[in-house]
Amino acid sequence: MPAAWLDQAKITVQAGNGGNGAVAFHREKYVPAGGPDGGDGGRGGDVIVVVDDHMTTLMDFRYKRKYVAGNGMDGSGKRCSGKDGQSLTIKVPRGTVIRHAESGEIIRDMADDAPFVLCRGGNGGWGNQHFATPTRQAPRFAKAGLPGESLEVILELKLLADVGLVGFPNVGKSTLLSVVTRAQPKIANYHFTTLSPNLGVVSLGEGNSFVLADIPGIIEGAAQGAGLGHDFLRHIDRCRLLLHVVDVSGSEGRDPVADFEAITAELREWSEDLAQRPTVVVGNKADIAPDPSGSDALRSHAERLGLPYFEISAAAHRGVQELMAYAAQRLSELPPPKPFQATYVPKPPAVDTSQPLDISRSDDGTWIVEGEWLRRLMMNVNFGDFESRNWFDRILRQSGLFDRLEAMGIQDGDTVSLYNLEFDYQK
């Protein structure tokens, strides 16, 4: 793969940690018993992924593999909260799919302009101002900030093209691309001339254009990684229409029908959906064929499969405009491509709830619940997410916490404090 092209990269992202709450007391002349005034820690910065249409490869991620957002600052006296950590923005090309590195599941398809928060920063800890009660007027403790989320992900670029050119090497795909667009791919009479996908825009008049991609490196065994198969088969995934280009001249001693079936088998092995994608069979190099038998055999085979067939000569510009006009007409009938659906669901950590929690009641009636496993549990819950909150509630119920609270006499509407989370109890 040339140095100018990179379409897959593994990186580690780390959101910022929350700042610690402060232990401080108000001290001012003529102000007796100023009380605790420790401020809260700042929230850690998020890691945000955005689309940059000026980027075409993932080369920026070749050497830098770790991305860390800013930590929140610690709180201070006079009820001053710490400054929030600076969020980190990562720019990727449009069409980049973010996968979980371990499971391979899709986290997000960056096909639109909406920013995506990949990792959330940790919440800041509460200062001691929050822990004062009528009987505990000088709390000498505060809460530490929570750590930010961390992930190892794979960035995978899948080109956003309407039409993909597929076929064996040296069948004329690059020549066809250069004839119908302003793209200038490398063209030569040997295999694997093209070592990276090339894109071009086919313009057929105002308001009638589409993106055409030359997908290189597909040979027999490509689905198992032969040739450049694994590197570039992924780029066909978004194409709504395939132009399957076949050399019908017999210049390399191959059978056109066998070539067509071989590439079709590779597409099917890579993705059954891809094998069912709308396809146009294109017999190229017809102008240098010693006889029409190869083209006729391929035409008959395409008709048996119910596929349209076009005989062209890309080098001689013969039949090319008719092919592009048909492709544009077919695209107008096809639905727009759908983004890949997220399949990754964060797996909640195993929680050992065997150690009983400490439950006490403050003078103002608040039920205070503390415990090491509860603290660790809350570090791993995104309270802004509905499913995460349900999972948190389920763990608390299974631990027997709510049964203990009811046995101790808690009533509907009583306030329960779990570290930096407070809620009104409902049976």
Q: What is the pLDDT of residue 5?
A: 52
Query: 232 pLDDT exceeds 70?
Result: no
Residue 354 CB partners (closer than 8 Å, separation 6+): none
Neighbours of 140 (CB within 10 A): 11
Look at the pTM and tell me if it is higher than 0.75.
no
Arithmetic mean of pLDDT, 282-305: 93
Residue 80 is given by DSSP the state B
Higher pLDDT, 109 or 388: 109
- Residue extents of the structural domains in the chain: 1-157, 163-333, 351-427
Arithmetic mean of pLDDT, 254-269: 89
Arithmetic mean of pLDDT, 24-33: 74
Give the fold, CATH level 3, of 351-427.
GMP Synthetase; Chain A, domain 3 (3.30.300)
Query: 61 pLDDT exceeds 60?
Result: yes
β-pair partners for 284: 247
- Residue 268 has φ and ψ, to the nearest 5°, of -65, -40
What is the architecture of the domain spanning 163-333? 3-Layer(aba) Sandwich (3.40)
Query: 187 pLDDT exceeds 60?
Result: no
Across 293-413, the runs of DSSP E, i.e. the strands, are 309-311, 358-361, 367-370
Q: Assign 258 a pLDDT band (cuts: 50, 70, 90).
A: very high
Higher pLDDT, 384 or 286: 286
Residue 127 is given by DSSP the state P
Q: Assign 4 a pLDDT band (cuts: 50, 70, 90).
A: very low
Q: What is the pLDDT of residue 44?
A: 95
Domains 1-157 and 163-333 share a fold: no
Return the SS3 of 47. strand
Give the fold, CATH level 3, of 1-157.
Spo0b-associated Gtp-binding Protein; Chain: A, (2.70.210)
Q: Residue 307: which of 316, 296, 299, 297 has the closest Cα?
A: 299
Which sign does the torsion angle of CA 186, 189, 195, 199 carry? positive
Query: 228 pLDDT exceeds 50?
Result: no
Arithmetic mean of pLDDT, 273-294: 91
Residue 395 CB partners (closer than 8 Å, separation 6+): 351, 353, 377
Neighbours of 317 (CB within 10 A): 13
Under 8 Å between Cβ of 129 and 143: no
Across 142-271, the runs of DSSP E, i.e. the strands, are 150-157, 163-166, 198-203, 209-214, 241-247
Q: Assign 231 a pLDDT band (cuts: 50, 70, 90).
A: low
Per the prediction, the chain carries an average pLDDT of: 84
DSSP strand pairing (309-311 vs 66-68):
unpaired
Reported residue count of the chain is 427
Arithmetic mean of pLDDT, 135-151: 81
Q: Assign 194 a pLDDT band (cuts: 50, 70, 90).
A: very low
Under 8 Å between Cβ of 354 and 341: no
Under 8 Å between Cβ of 267 and 166: yes
